[in-house]
Amino acid sequence: MTGLIGTDTPIDDLLEQYFPGAPRNLLYEAFEDETNALLAALLMEMRGDDVDQDVSGETEAVYHSNAGIPVTSTSEETEEWDFMADTVVVYGFDAPLTVAFKSPNKTDRDIPLTSTEAPFSLSPPGGVSTSKLWYRKTTESAADTTLNVLALR
């Protein structure tokens, strides 16, 4: 029978996906109890850390890339990814468009861009901390275009 505190517990099974390859007793010793280890796992989840790593403990780059996104309307569209990006690059557009990195209920959010401003990169100190890009044509008379987006953590 296993308990809930110590090593080789059901909580250790849960934590193993957040700390792949670490000896199970090391987690208990490092965090002193499962509550602190679970809190660390929760914070990693909230931050968007990739927990689907293989058991070797090696990590892969965390980024989102999508090319050829059509921009054909002044109605706002979105491109989303499953982590909080520190840097977002918008490129490959040849007509004016408007982008935003915060939700529509926020003020001062629209960034109008022309093709001469491509590639456009937003990477402030501490990161931009967004998981979504909003985009649209700047005006109805603007030509249709496509855009590419690269989001990096």
Q: How confident is the model at residue 21 (pLDDT cuts 50, 70, 90)?
A: low
Q: Is the CATH number 3.40.50 carried by domain 63-152?
A: no
Question: Could you report the per-residue pLDDT of 43-70, keeping only the tens digit for each?
Answer: 666 655 555 544 445 567 788 999 899 9
Mean pLDDT for 144-152 is: 93
Residues 133/137/139/144 CA torsion (nearest 10 deg): 170
Q: Which 3 state secondary structure label does DSSP give 149?
A: strand
Q: In the chain, what are the domain boundaries?
A: 1-59, 63-152
Q: Is the model's pLDDT at 40 over the cut of 50?
A: yes
Strands (E) located in 86-126 = 87-91, 97-100, 111-113, 120-122
Residue 39: phi and psi, rounded to 5, are -65, -45
Q: Is 77 helix (H, G, I), strand (E, B) or coil?
A: strand
DSSP 117: G
Tokens of 20: 């792949």
| Per-chain mean pLDDT for the chain | 78
Task: Report the share of the chain in percent with pLDDT over 90.
Answer: 40
Q: Give the tens place of pLDDT for each residue, 71-83.
A: 999 999 999 998 8
Lowest mean pLDDT, pick from 83-92, 101-110, 143-152? 101-110
